[in-house]
Amino acid sequence: MASHHFDHIDRSGSVTGPPSGSDYALDRGFRGIAWASAALILALVAYIIVEIGGKALPAITEYGFGFLTSTTWNVQAGQFGILPEIWGTLYSSLLALILGGVFGITIAIFLTQDFLPSRLAVVFRTIIELLAAIPSVVFGLWGIYVLIPLLRPAANWLHEEFGVVPFFGTSLSGPGLAPAALVLAIMILPTVASISVDALRQIPYKVKEAAYGMGTTRWEAILKVMLPTAGSGILAALVLGFGRALGETMALAMLIGNSNQISLSLFAPANTLAALLASNFPEAGEIEVQALMYAALALLAITLVVNVAGLAAMKFATRKFEAER
């Protein structure tokens, strides 16, 4: 009896043995909850698509794919097109991703690769994460009263000296793409930095030690070993940051200028799908609401495509890295 008893006790004193019936029941219950939660999320997404699609169906029937390629939004004439808004959404989000991605990954490197004392790194990480708690409208007000006046002299000088370059083809008279993209970059910075920090912290310290043992310098170890190893996590951070930028509304509505035009100039006013929805819905009539629902469906499709493409790129990068390793 004694030997049988001690068979179920390991050296640390904890009881071991085959799972009991209650353990199996808990496991099945947890699996059921997980599957139900996943199914609920899919059902919720499907419900949102069906509801928006149903309200947008008259506009889809009326305007077809021409709605996505037209540049006119004229309520009185009953003409609706969102190509400038699609351009502005993708252009501003891509600029914000470049700026926020570079600075976010750089911050993650400095917070995880022993450039700062551990206590100071925690303080900086907390400050960066607090940026995510600032309301969008506050960013918009800061952009209007601080950022635009700060950018205007440099923007106008660039226009005067290098106006032949399409990116500087207009002056910055007020709201425009550059201040909107800069504020958007600041807004996605906490997302990119936090997830990148977690990805870099999950790398075993032995990986860095092995890199140093091969004779690499500090920056060679970071750029050629640490970043590729954390590549899937960093890519996930960029995908989530880009998704956040695509759907941002209030700050963009305040800063981008709400102009229905397509331009490469960083200082020209533009518009985004989210800003179009926020600006036009309060006073929209029935026909315009149908067109706005069509625009909302287009924004949802763009966001889903971006996330699916990001997941596919993450899987490809992970498989490639594992194959090379």
* Per-residue pLDDT tens digits for 74-87: 888 878 889 999 99
Tokens of 217: 């310098």
pLDDT top residue among 232 and 19:
232
Closest CA to 152 of 131, 170, 174, 184: 174
Taking CA 60 as the corner, what is the angle to CA 56 and CA 66, rounded to the nearest 5 degrees? 135
User: pTM value?
Assistant: 0.82
Closest CA to 234 of 123, 148, 317, 118: 317
Average pLDDT for the chain: 84
Please state the domain extents for the chain.
45-324
Q: Please give the span between the terminal C-alpha atoms of the chain, in angstroms, as a whole number.
A: 51
Q: Does 12 have pLDDT greater than 60? A: no
- Tokens 């502005």 identify what position? 88
CATH number of 45-324: 1.10.3720.10
* Per-residue pLDDT tens digits for 115-142: 878 788 888 888 888 888 888 899 999 9
Going from the C-alpha of 62 to that of each of 46, 69, 247, the distances in angstroms are: 24, 14, 26
Kindly tell me the sign of the dihedral angle through the C-alpha atoms of 6, 7, 10, 14.
negative
DSSP-derived secondary structure for 133-153: GS-HHHHHHHIIIIIHHHHHH
pLDDT at residue number 201? 86
Longest dimension (CA), the chain: 93
Q: Average pLDDT for residues 45-72, to the nearest whole number?
A: 88
- Tokens 């640490």 identify what position? 226
Going from the C-alpha of 96 to that of each of 17, 63, 71, 100, 121, the distances in angstroms are: 54, 32, 24, 6, 25
Tokens of 266: 């960083």
Going from the C-alpha of 315 to that of each of 134, 165, 236, 279, 321, the distances in angstroms are: 33, 38, 10, 38, 10
pLDDT at residue number 71? 86
pLDDT at residue number 90? 93
pLDDT at residue number 13? 47
* Per-residue pLDDT tens digits for 260-287: 889 899 999 999 999 898 888 878 788 8
